[in-house]
Structure 1
């Protein structure tokens, strides 16, 4: 054990350790856990789910969710068209999974409450697959989803082609997944492909993982912690040339921020979260950027990072769920 520890390159406690020989050790309950989908509807939430492979060559896949309002016996012309949530899980770009019990349970609850179809993306994780791999996987997944809206190259997944209103596409995610959702919206806004003539309706960013070289807010109170988080980005994105001011992690440095490819953004922050001030900074920066959409923010008092995943039945978690559902059904 002493010999192994002497080769430690980086550790992000309590999540993982990375060794100089490339070995990655995920710790305690952050090790991979898998819960199967429930094609015959989850008994608790009455939500159907199934797994699909998007790109066999890379293993890119996703878990799809249908709410109880959808039945498989409707005639084609009677089938309901619902908003679609494309969700990216969190975990510092390097832990958790779309198939983890916490994310499966959360998507079940969100789909049931919001009455939306959902696609939860299983992108490849760092550090084995360093960024920008997760961004490229997520982009491929988004393009696959939107291909179902094109009459000349209709996608083959009937859960999407039969039940999704492609004028109501929402990107969402928590922590690093919120970072991915933001960057997918940026990319959609600057991409001239036919598929992106269809503007995204909205983006939901829950406790987004943004950062920067210069400390702000509570980051100034613990510079040792600031330096450890600084090193996280360099570990998961070793090819970055601008460090923690890379536009991928610090949207304030992105010259394309005003071209965010959606109409509405909701930012959720938590009072006791280290990333709280970055969420507020993003909100204020986006408002001043010249972007023509509408951005909202809500703060959960007394709570820490992704508290809703750890304690989903708490009053604050239920209140945040109601806020998300309300946001997703604005003007619907």
Structure 2
């Protein structure tokens, strides 16, 4: 065993012999019937080959009662390197959204870097989007989706890296042909909570805190060592994406936190999207005095409740 550390990013250490040590809470919680919200969850394997799995959520109103409800596809955060769809914080947060919004949800447990470098997380997420689309005729793997998911009212959402994935999945969907099965689902909107974006050139307050930018950018370098464009890869810097204006949804909600270092990138994303030629509507909500992913750390605080209600309202909005 070689104890020499080649990457030490506080939250994750990578040793020379390939071992990966995550210092964050790696606890997981099984699917269940949540007595607080009445939401039922279950896990399914989407790909035995890669180990890709999802956690499905259904509200109490739909248990054993076929009815078509909006579908939320959720991508967890963690800088592509940490976090899980099965973590208590992610699981409980989705329970609260599903129970209050009366929707169906699919939470994606994509492969993490550095063991599975980029584009694994994106490929897994796209495989789930295609898997969701396979339920269009009511003959997919999940009976919950067959009976209860309205694929004409689909939403993508995620926090941090998961928000980044949500944006990129919406872009890939926008580039899909209507002749493809995946191109037939109707993505109504995406919700980006504290999105993890970056770029080679610092912007705004990043200029004054170069050490923080170096720290955040190191996660992308660890997750995507083969990227020829580095921090200007369109996957991490949407402003460099010539297809930004092809975003495949009608509405976008970007949630920011006042004291989040990534706030500048969230604002820059909104500005870039509005200039891209995309003809949808982008909304912005900012939580005062809060830090990155505060809503997972203290879900019962006033700002977290307000943000959750805004997300629910965004999903529930009628055309």
TM range (shorter): over 0.9
CA distance in 1, matches of 2:217, 2:85: 26
**Corresponding position: 1:200 with 2:187:** yes
Deviation digits for residues 246-302 of structure 1, max 9, x if unmatched?
000000000000000111111000000000010011011101110011111110000
* Pairing partner for 1:232 from 219, 240, 243: 219
CA distance in 2, matches of 1:71, 1:64: 12
Distance 1:71 1:230, change over 3 A: closer
Matched with 1:245 is 232
Maintained 8 Å contact 1:114/1:325: yes
* Pairing partner for 2:67 from 80, 85, 88: 80
Matched with 1:54 is 46
* Pairing partner for 1:10 from 7, 21, 24: 7
1:96 Cα shift?
A: 1.0
Matched with 2:18 is 22
Map residues 126-205 of structure 1 onto 2, 5 A cutoff.
Answer: 126-150=113-137, 154-192=139-177, 193-205=180-192
Matched with 1:44 is 36
CA distance in 1, matches of 2:19, 2:248: 38
CA distance in 1, matches of 2:53, 2:185: 23
* Pairing partner for 2:276 from 289, 294, 302: 289
Aligned residues: 317
Q: Structure 2: state its 5+ residue gaps.
A: none
Give the SS at the match of 1:162.
helix
Deviation digits for residues 105-131 of structure 1, max 9, x if unmatched?
111111111111000000000000001
CA distance in 1, matches of 2:92, 2:278: 34
Distance 1:18 1:163, change over 3 A: same
Q: Using structure 2 for the length normalisation, give the TM-score.
A: 0.96
Maintained 8 Å contact 1:150/1:195: no
Q: Using structure 1 for the length normalisation, give the TM-score.
A: 0.93
Matched with 1:278 is 265
* Pairing partner for 2:28 from 27, 34, 44: 34
1:149 Cα shift?
A: 0.8
CA distance in 1, matches of 2:70, 2:282: 19
Deviation digits for residues 200-250 of structure 1, max 9, x if unmatched?
111010000000111112211121222222222111001100010000000
Of 243-252 and 231-240, more deviation after overlay is shown by: 231-240
**Corresponding position: 1:320 with 2:276:** no
Distance 1:69 1:237, change over 3 A: same
CA distance in 2, matches of 1:230, 1:105: 29
Maintained 8 Å contact 2:44/2:54: yes
Matched with 2:55 is 63
